[in-house]
Amino acid sequence: MIKLVLLSGFLGAGKTTLMTNILNSHAHEKVGLIINEFGTEGIDGPLLARDGIQMTELNNGSIFCACIKDSFLKSMIEMSKQDISYLFIEPSGLADPSEMGKVLETIAPRLEKQYDYLGIVCVVDAETFPKLSTVLPALTRQVEYCSAAIINKADLVDESRLEAISQQIKDINPNCEIIITSYCRFDIPALVQRLSPGDKSAQDSTNTPESRLFSLVLKPQGSVPVDALHTFVEKLMPHAYRVKGFLPAGDSMIAINAVGGVIKIEPWTGESPPHGLVVISAVGMKIISIITDALKDGLGGNLRL
């Protein structure tokens, strides 16, 4: 059987950091990955790609939404044919995983090797979860169905905030294990051994074509000035859940990762990723006019919709 773990968590909570740590801790195992991103272009794939890992990327929607659910089912069936011991699935930060039990029941007759479903590890952003969980039902579902909740970015908040989030998680899911950490650093193999999917019944996912958030990709037109880019992202963040991507700057590449009030623009030294800046809007299509206005202040000739 193939051990199966699903990683949930909102945009920017630290899922990709956790997945990187998982791959490092399972470096001697045969591992498969299914990476799902809400935008039309994948950003996390280049961060996780490495030799010997079977990886599939599914973009432009949640794997639990009808928009790409068929592709998800096919990918899981194909992964069952691979020579792997573990399959880790990283859904979009907007994913509602409450249908995972139904997914496994649906594909079971078509699998070459069955999955040993260990459960869901949910990464909770200590900075943004209290606010966003009240307006995005998928975040509550992520905690409700998890086996372990990882309260990440603990270094950015005080003890009272951590206690309040812990209690909020217990109120939603009294049976999950809670781990408080920064940069998703903890004993991952030990947690994987302890995981259990529990017996909570599956529900219809809140991910529907009607509930999809609006996203778009900005494409670079040559090199992008970093200072102007930082100012541009600052103007977007009050109106966006996430801004993330890779852009050329001078003779090198930079990685942009912005969520909440934190903006990180850092040199990128890995393999050349797709160029572009993904913006996931918190204000629907209104983000287009906000971007258009923001581009006028120094980046009009460097990025385009």
Give dist(CA 47, CA 215) in Å, integer.
21
Q: Which long-range contacts (CB under 8 A, 24 or more apart) does 224-229 make?
A: 224/248, 224/249, 224/254, 224/299, 224/302, 224/303, 225/249, 225/298, 225/299, 225/302, 226/254, 226/265, 228/297, 228/298, 228/299, 228/302, 229/254, 229/256, 229/265, 229/299, 229/302
Q: What is residue 43's predicted lDDT score, i.e. its pLDDT?
A: 53
Phi and psi torsions of 253, nearest 5°: -120, 145
- Tokens (6 digits) for 272: 């050349």
Sequence-distant (≥ 6) Cβ neighbours of residue 276 within 8 angstroms: 41, 217, 218, 219, 220, 245, 246, 247
Domain 213-304 has CATH 3.30.2320.30: no
Superfamily of domain 2-194: P-loop containing nucleotide triphosphate hydrolases (3.40.50.300)
Structural domain boundaries of the chain? 2-194, 213-304
Of 9, 8, 11, the C-alpha closest to 237 is: 11
Of 99, 137, 123, the C-alpha closest to 7 is: 123
The torsion defined by the Cα of 151, 34, 208 and 70, in degrees rounded to 10, comes to -160
Of 4, 71, 5, the C-alpha closest to 37 is: 71
Length of the chain (residues)? 305
- The tens place of each residue's pLDDT in the chain, 305 residues long, gives 999 999 999 988 999 899 999 999 998 999 999 999 865 555 555 556 566 678 899 988 889 988 889 999 999 999 999 999 999 999 988 899 999 999 999 999 999 999 999 999 999 999 989 888 887 888 999 999 999 999 999 999 999 999 999 999 999 999 999 999 999 999 999 999 999 998 888 888 888 877 778 889 999 998 999 999 999 999 999 999 889 999 999 888 999 989 877 899 999 887 777 789 999 898 989 999 999 999 987 777 788 88
**Beta strand 252-259 pairing with 240-249:** antiparallel
Q: What is residue 101's predicted lDDT score, i.e. its pLDDT?
A: 92
Laid out side by side, the sheet with 54-59 consists of 54-59, 31-37, 86-90, 2-9, 115-125, 148-152, 177-180
Q: What is residue 300's predicted lDDT score, i.e. its pLDDT?
A: 72
Q: What SS3 state is found at 251? A: coil
Q: Taking the alpha carbons of 122, 128, 129, 132 in that order, is the dihedral positive or negative? A: negative
Q: Report which DSSP code applies to 206.
A: S
Residue 84 corresponds to which amino acid? I
- How would you label 223-243 residue by residue, b for 16+ Cβ within 10 Å and e otherwise? ebeeebbeebbeebbebbbbb
Q: Are 258 and 233 in contact (CB under 8 A)?
A: yes
Beta strands in 167-251, from DSSP E residues, in sequence order = 177-180, 215-220, 240-249
Where is 70: in which H helix or E strand?
Answer: helix 69-79
Q: What is residue 237's predicted lDDT score, i.e. its pLDDT?
A: 93
Of 7, 8, 12, the C-alpha closest to 22 is: 7
